[in-house]
Structure 1
Amino acid sequence: MDLDLTGKSALVLAGSKGLGRAVATQLVSEGADVIITSSSQANLEDAVRSIQTEVNCDADRIGYRVCDLSKSESIEMGIEDAIDELGGLDILITNHGGPLTKTFSETTLDDFDNTYNEVLRSTIQVCQLALPYLQDSGGSITNLVAASTLEPNVSGSIANVIRPGIYGLSKTLANEYGSEGVRVNCVSPRGIFTDRIEYKIDVLADKEDITIKEAKERREAEVPLTRLGSPEEFAQAVTFIASPAAGFVTGSILHVDGGWSQGAF
């Protein structure tokens, strides 16, 4: 299938590692010109070199901007500079780091405030900055939000409160800007084998006094497909939803979780 991404411009937040980096790599491989952001210049430089080597693309196909999602000024400068370098914008992929894992009784108001700024407020601000350009291009916004947000657990009190706002934002923008050709969707990962999942497996093994292999098998047993997904599989799904090939899909949530989500619909 031709995703019609050749020559399209894309901006991927938190794109230097993990799922963001995988998505950026897939977009470049499909022909898009991509800029990734992160608060770490060293991580960005490493990611750009890696993507250039993996995709075997010209240097001007993948670039970066330093952008700290906890700081409004950094977001404004980084996003505007990135869009200016791209010469417009067709695709926005929002992404963020994982919030602290705490129960409600362990969580402070500062924890909630910091996560609101880094996760929800930053997403709102980036969308505000990008929308005029996406209106011009008839482009798309794809928000990456962990599937666990849909089935909250006790230790995820911060994420349970903050992340659902991104679903509400997505539906609101899909309804408001659909008549102008802008599509807005969420893609929700779970059980994708990244460094973060590997860390959680290590923690589980230590907590339960079991081997890493046994801890990994427990995570796999939670998934109907009985395996963990790869970042490449996730990136392919995101790239499709963000592309013109999914031109009649908006206001939706795509679960990329091996069947983990247990809702009927």
Structure 2
Amino acid sequence: MNGDADFDGSRALVTAASKGLGRETARELVERGARVAIVSRSRENLEVAREWIVAETGADEDCVLVATGDLTAPDEIREAVSGAIDDLGGLDVLVTNHGGPPVQSIEETTVDELDDAYAGVIRGTFVTLRTALPALADGGGAVVNVVSATAREPLPGDVFQSLLRPGLYALSKSLSREYGPEVRVNCVCPRGIVTERLEHKIELLAEREGITVDEARKRRADELAVDDLGTPEEFASAVAFLASPEASYVTGTTLPVDGGWSRGAF
């Protein structure tokens, strides 16, 4: 999927990019002309992702850089992000992504589990932003924080999303004013995008409800205003739009990419 947004010569960094939506976002940016550093905790998975992106896009191998760092380890993230920025020669686009915490109720959640989720979602994103923002501000850039549609409409029995994700919304809004006009900061909020994580959730739903996987998939699709689940390519196109000059007048906002799942008027 080659969109209209032109990233020729742009330098981008995507965290949690060895799989899923992060990897797809990196592929989209490379396909549109960017050099992209992908960050994850597994060097092996990063190398596999790098080979896949190069094969999918036909780009030169030096268009995809890898940097190893665990989002829950601040020193590793600082080193990975700083090193990637040095290797890229600066930074124009930052996409913060992180692994999704488990869906569970407050009764099922221990304090240690909450601390672990905080470390990956809030602290990891904070450290990434704090490390990258000076480089982004130096030449003018864009941040897209991948959050979750459920943060705007919390669901029962989903304590991590309800407690942690809204903090990223508020931080993005604050940073858009603090760093404007040099840096635009927005959130993109997926739901119903087919990834390994969603497929796993569909399988769990089928098992819990005693229905087939196809029936469970249809039940998830029936939650949406459109007639089917979304693709990673559709999601990545939305991220690329927010990161591109086409969205030069868009900052401090959230873009749901959820097939019309959210029903709030605001």
| Letter in structure 2 aligned against 1:216 | R
Residue 111 of structure 1 deviates from its aligned partner by 1.3
Sequence identity of aligned pairs in percent?
50
> What CA distance in whole angstroms lies between the structure 2 residues aligned with 1:58 and 1:197?
32
Q: Which residue of 2 aligns with 1:124?
A: 126
- Rounded to whole Å, the distance in 1 between the matches of 2:137 and 2:75 is 23
Normalised by the length of structure 1, the TM-score is 0.98
Counterpart position of 1:83: 85
Q: Which residue of 2 aligns with 1:193?
A: 194
Deviations, residues 101-128 of structure 1 (Å, cap 9, x unaligned):
2111111111111111111011111111
Cα offset for 1:175?
A: 0.8
Which residue in the other structure is 1:228 paired with?
229
* Map 1:1-265 → 2, pairs under 5 A: 2-179=4-181, 181-265=182-266
Which amino acid in the other structure matches residue 229 of structure 1? G
Distance 1:126 1:33 in 2: 18
* TM-score scaled by length of structure 2: 0.97
Structure 2: state its 5+ residue gaps.
none
Between the two proteins, the alignment pairs up a number of residues equal to 264
Residue segments in structure 1 that go unaligned for 5+ positions in a row: none
Give the SS at the match of 1:70.
Answer: coil
Shift of 1:134: 0.6
For 2:126, give the aligned amino acid.
Answer: I
Is the 1:111–1:158 contact (alpha carbons within 8 Å) kept by the matching residues of 2? no
Report how far residue 233 of structure 1 moved: 0.3
Whether the aligned pair in 2 keeps the contact of 1:4 and 1:245 (CA below 8 Å) is no
Q: Distance in 1 between matches of 2:156 and 2:84?
A: 38
Partner SS state of residue 76, structure 2: helix
TM-superposed deviation, 1:2: 4.1
Displacement of 1:155 in angstroms is: 1.9
Note if contact 1:170-1:251 (Cα within 8 Å) is conserved in structure 2: yes
User: What do the CA deviations read for 1:186-224 (whole angstroms, capped 9, x no partner)?
Assistant: 000000011111001100111111111111110010001
2-structure distance, mates of 1:246, 1:65: 28
For residues 60-96 of structure 1, what are the alpha-carbon distances to aligned partners after superposition, in whole Å with 9 as ceiling and x for unaligned?
0011111100101111111111111000000000000
**RMSD, matched Cα:** 0.9
Amino acid at match of 1:241: L
Contact 1:2/1:245 (8 A) holds in 2: no
Contact 1:188 1:257 in 2 (8 A): yes
Q: Runs of 4 or more off by more than 4 Å in structure 1?
A: none
* Residue identity opposite 2:178 in structure 1: E
Q: Which moved more, 1:184-193 or 1:102-111?
A: 102-111
Q: Distance in 2 between matches of 1:99 and 1:164?
A: 14
Give, in angstroms, the shift of residue 4 of structure 1: 3.0
SS at match of 1:10: strand
2: distance between equivalents of 1:155 and 1:84? Answer: 43
Say which SS state the counterpart of residue 201 (structure 1) adopts. helix
In structure 2, the residue corresponding to 1:37 is in which secondary structure?
A: strand
Work out the CA distance in 2 between the residues paired with 1:101 and 1:234. 22
- Aligned equivalents of 1:203, 1:4: Cα separation in 2: 40
